[in-house]
Amino acid sequence: MLTLYGETLTSRLLLGTAQYPSPAIMAEAVRASACDIVTVSLRRETAGNRTGGQFWELIRELGVRVLPNTAGCHSVKEAVTTAQMARELFGTDWIKLEVIGHHDTLQPDVFGLVEAARILSAEGFQVFPYTTDDLVVAERLLDAGCAVLMPWCAPIGSARGPVNVDGLRAIRAHFPEIPLIVDAGLGRPSHAGMVMELGFDAVLLNTAVAKAGDPAAMAAAFAGAVEAGHVAFRAGPLEPRDMAVPSTPIIGKAVFE
């Protein structure tokens, strides 16, 4: 079981709701993933062709928890205002906080992120910050009131998979009791399995599923990989070795001359 801000969840996969060919395909993927949480961009839903009411009704039918996000926000004021609007619309104190600092890489503005997290935490929000794997930034976010961290493994939508495994391993080791959700850059189920084997608590996906040839099948594949990686971590995987080690013992074997 996974516990986030006091809520117990059965799935360790969080799924985004953007970029699908249609709402029906999105719903099919969510069901196939068996996820408990979906992320929703307030900007995307209010600016798109779908009405907010229709989309919200679809989410209710799926029976999943909504994690609104501040996707597309490039300043503290913008992110805080969007979070406040999302709380009114979706009726939740949960917010995935994004403050983007670089247009090309979509890298977080970590200075603005910490400031916005402090403001929102003081207003009673339960913040899920999209951040880098920097340990100092992580400490500042925890000091600001966050009880969950969401480090990236590669730029949003890049599908590159973990580009700094040592950094991810370090943040996991440095914060053993903090729920860590890898967010952004996962492209294949094997990437999800890899980060879960490092001991992360969950992963958040969107583009890798939404843009797949068969989103529902890909969602199911990611769900299986996430679970397999988690079980493997709990089982204690064998660490890599520099030398070959025989799997059959040689002591006690007959010697022929």
Q: Cα-atom radius of gyration of the chain, to the nearest Å?
A: 20
Is 157 assigned to a binding site?
yes
CA torsion sign for 169, 107, 140, 12 is negative
Residue 201's SS3 state is coil
CA distance 112 to 94: 19
CA distance 98 to 33: 24
Is 206 assigned to a binding site?
yes
Write the burial class of residue 17 (CB in 10 Å: 0-12 exposed, 13-18 middle, 19+ buried).
buried
Q: Which of these is catalytic: 77, 96, 211, 253?
A: 96
Write the burial class of residue 226 (CB in 10 Å: 0-12 exposed, 13-18 middle, 19+ buried).
buried
Is 207 assigned to a binding site?
yes
Is 184 assigned to a binding site?
yes
The DSSP bridge partners found for residue 202 are: 181
Give, to the nearest 10 degrees, the angle between helix 215-235 and helix 189-197: 20
Picking from 90, 82, 88, 89, the residue whose alpha carbon sits closest to that of residue 119 is 82
253: annotated active-site residue: no
Where is the binding site for 1-deoxy-D-xylulose 5-phosphate, in residues? 157, 184-185, 206-207
Active site residues: 96
Where is the binding site, in residues? 157, 184-185, 206-207
